[in-house]
Structure 1
Amino acid sequence: MQTTETSPTSFKILFGASALAAAAVPTTYQQNAAIDPVEPSKQDYASERGTESVMAYDERLLDAKLEAVEARTETKFAQLIGKLDLLAAGIGDVKGKIAELDVKVGVVDGHTRTAKRELIITVVTTGLALGALAWGGVQIFQGGLGLSSSAFQAGMTAADQKNANEPQRRTPAK
């Protein structure tokens, strides 16, 4: 009967504790021997009991690891949900700020329209006032010329009449 066992440390390094339990179970090989599947040997029975305890330990270890992974996953999801809630709150704040800016833009737009209307009215009124002032100045200038010319005409007429009524005098020659 030849018994071959694999080194437990190499299995433990490569495959973990469950591989170690499988490596601890001896493999029996008998040449030309009949294997009785019903009655295991005492050595096989002892190995099976040891395997059962290792397997139970492995199951508990696996369950603990799974619970730790689930806890980490739930923690990550909770953090992600918290960040999403924070993002949603931030988006709500941005919507509020946009609404405030929309109101302010409406107010500024109203003021701009009013200022534009007042500017147009001021420019038109100033143009009309300047036009009226220019027309008045021309009228005053023309009236002044008219008075001057009529005064000049009246003076010339009076001088002519005076000359016509008086005899002509001769100035002595020297």
Structure 2
Amino acid sequence: MTREEMDARLEAAEARSETRFVELNSKLDRLGEILTGDQGFIAQMNALKAENKADNKATRWTVVITMITSILAAAALVMSVQANLLSAFQAGQAVGASPRAPR
């Protein structure tokens, strides 16, 4: 094998290596664009995070309103039961105080 043939083989191998390097570099650039671009993965994740935060805020308000309504409903139930018990007690006193009531 002559010196020129060896030089040609080395240059061909170097050209192949350079081509692979350029291809790998372009793939890395594309991957970086996919991750960090305007419509990239990180931007999409940030948008989803903001959307979930807004949804969580609405859910919190729903829970708070439901709790307040439930407390008011429980208070109304207690008051109505007490009012019915009081009226039944007063009716029983009235019957007991009447002259025809059996004792």
TM-score normalised according to structure 1 size:
0.50
Q: What does 1:121-136 align with in structure 2 at a 5 Å threshold? A: 121-136=65-80
User: Once the 2 structures are TM-superposed, how far is the Cα of residue 137 of structure 1 from its aligned partner?
Assistant: 1.0
Match of 1:147 among 74, 91, 103: 91
Residue type matched to 1:108 in 2? Answer: N
Verify: 1:109 aligned to 2:53, yes or no: yes
Q: Rg: which structure is higher? A: 1
What fraction of aligned residue pairs are identical, expressed as a percent?
Answer: 13
Q: What does 1:27-106 align with in structure 2 at a 5 Å threshold? A: 61-95=2-36, 96-106=40-50
User: Once the 2 structures are TM-superposed, how far is the Cα of residue 71 of structure 1 from its aligned partner?
Assistant: 2.5
For 2:59 and 2:10, the matched residues in 1 are separated by 68
More relative contact order, 1 or 2 (CA 8 Å, 6+ apart): 1
Residue type matched to 1:74 in 2? Answer: A
TM-score normalised according to structure 2 size:
0.78
- Gap runs ≥5 in structure 1: 1-16, 18-60, 160-174
Higher helix share: 2
RMSD: 1.9
Deviations 1:47-73 (A, max 9, x none): xxxxxxxxxxxxxx3133213212311
Count of residue pairs the alignment pairs up: 97
For 1:127 and 1:68, the matched residues in 2 are separated by 86
Moved over 3 A (4+): none
- What is the DSSP-based 3-state SS (H/G/I as helix, E as strand, rest coil) of the residue aligned with 1:81? helix
Verify: 1:120 aligned to 2:64, yes or no: yes
Residue type matched to 1:100 in 2? Answer: Q
For 2:58 and 2:94, the matched residues in 1 are separated by 53
Match of 1:138 among 53, 73, 82: 82
